[in-house]
A and B are shown apart, each in its own frame.
Chain A
Amino acid sequence: MAMTMTQKILAAHVGLQEVVAGQFIEANLDMVLANDITGPVAIKEFDKMGAKEVFHKDKIALVPDHFTPNKDIQSAEQSKILREFAYSQEITNYFEVGEMGIEHALLPEKGLVVAGDVVIGADSHTCTYGALGAFSTGVGSTDMAGGMVTGKAWFKVPSAIQFELINKPQEWVSGKDIILHIIGKIGVDGSLYKSMEFTGQGIKYLSMDDRFTISNMAIEAGAKNGIFPVDEETIKYIKEHSTKEYKVFEADEDAVYDEKYVLDLSEIRPTVAFPHLPENTKTIDQVGDVSIDQVVIGSCTNGRIEDLRAAAKVFEGNKVKKGVRAIIIPATQKIYLQAIEEGLVKIFIEAGAIFSTPTCGPCLGGHMGILAEGERCVSTTNRNFVGRMGHTKSEVYLASPAVAAASAIAGKIYNPEKIVEER
């Protein structure tokens, strides 16, 4: 029977010619990931499993990124558990603050995930690596522990929804606007259990950073994974970042999809998700007057170099509105350095924004920009649930880096097209 791209990758990792949707399989893993929150729980389970060693010291990645640099004693203790485990097990891919980054930006950058891989992570946004043509998905801590011991995880083979992307997006429309548009259309459970498989000639207009953003938020539609075909762009990226062998899988032409959508990218407008669900989307033309207190540009969704460049383009020659806090957080140390070298940091600081060391920080209401009661924030992160970034009566509006930057300048949710015109 014809298979989707995801099904083909999974079949190859169980050593089967064919798998079908609904089938249970036990697949070999190429990478197993955890962070400073989920890692310590998984390590406890690992100990209970009676194993002495991890299955492969190069195929585990431990990244302290959520509450680091440690914000308090409790988080320091958690990081310590992770660090001691990494050292005692001689884990190759453990990244201390000086070389770290937010896990889902860091792993592709370090070349730890390539096309054709199967990856699990004890973090729901592990689906990010679908951008590289890999199968990757989030799991619980017990799964993570099992993966570290055996190098395998069980899966139920997903069916898929196909999203055919056609035509070229408008200038200020990025991967973030596209995925918010899709979630607005299908809802937060629109792709429950399923793969989101992106296809179509429009993909050639999307940079790798755009694709990472789109795959990253597949989970916000309930999806198991969100995957892109491998093209020249992907291969170029992989060759630049990795020496690992990659493998290209393609969906069969007659693969069966539960549903098919055709999205004309040229018609998508900059899009904002209103509180408290990522599906509550409005185009920038419909947002009305929403005054704000804070802007956050960063996270595993939008803390990559192109995101910072887009923000800088809007900030250049402008000032953050008085009374608004603009917080910019590059996703990795490498991006941090690149932003300095390209002069982006100068633009941010001259505009009146702050520029911090890489961390998840405010994305999950951890530190570095928590909201007080009644405050509103435009954020380039991925979730705007009640209390996600602080007080349960605060509000998070999800948007692209360009929209976030424009909003910081205007003091209200604002269209970047207008800022650039008005300059």
Chain B
Amino acid sequence: MKAKGHVFKYGDNIDTDVIIPARYLSTGDPDQLKKHCMEDIDKDFVNKVKAGDIIVGQKNFGCGSSREHAPIAIKASGVSCVIAESFARIFYRNSINIGMPIIECAEAASKIEKDDEVEVNFNTGEINNITKNEIYIGQKYPEFLQNIIQKGGLVNYINDNVGGK
């Protein structure tokens, strides 16, 4: 399982309010949410982002509320992976559970720059910076977490495993 794209880079403590502001939470529809993704920190994001692109943040990415709307908005915008030095823990869980890959790697978070082209291999935890020709090693997922993400989230994963029980 891999992700590949160009990088949008942000700083520490990117909170769920800037990822998707509370004023847009009256809907859970991914297509509506993606129109406002990162709006309060990067107005250009929604216009520039292309399918497969990667977000790189620093410390405590996704801190704040437990709203699942935040990873949903990022995923719906086409982003294939978020890399950060660390994630707030409920954001981390919610991302995996809705099928959006995220990976922790301090080295990658500091060395990758805006617009670099990066490929992430979730099976090995390898993050390949194609632009800089560097490889960083992040935390790799065990099989069942890969499964959850591959199936598009916990709902489908469980559906396939125990559905119709």
Contact = CB atoms under 8 A, between A and B. Distances in A.
A and B found bound together: yes
Interface in A181-220: 189, 192-193
B141 interface: yes
Contacts of A143: 93, 97, 154
Contacts of A420: none
Interface string B117-157: 00000000000000000000001011011001000011100
A24 B141 contact: yes
A24 B90 contact: no
Given A24-B141, A146-B97, A48 B90 contact: no
Contact of A142 (B97, B139, B145, B159): B97
Interface residues of B, number: 30
Interface in A42-63: 45, 48-53
B144 A26 contact: yes
A89 interface: no
> Chain A, interface size: which category?
20 to 34
A159 to B, nearest CB: 12
Nearest to A41: B68
A143 B93 CA distance: 8
Contact of A53 (B66, B139, B159, B165): B165
A154 B153 contact: no
Nearest to B98: A142
A53 B88 CA distance: 32
B139 A22 contact: yes
Interface stretch (A133-141, A169-177, A239-247, A363-371): A133-141
A149 interface: yes
A142 B68 contact: yes
A365 to B, nearest CB: 14
Interface of B: 60, 63, 66, 68, 86, 88-90, 92-94, 96-98, 139, 141-142, 144-145, 148, 153-155, 158-159, 161-165
Chain A to chain B: the 6 pairs with minimum beta-carbon distance, closest first: A50-B163, A142-B97, A50-B159, A49-B158, A24-B142, A140-B94
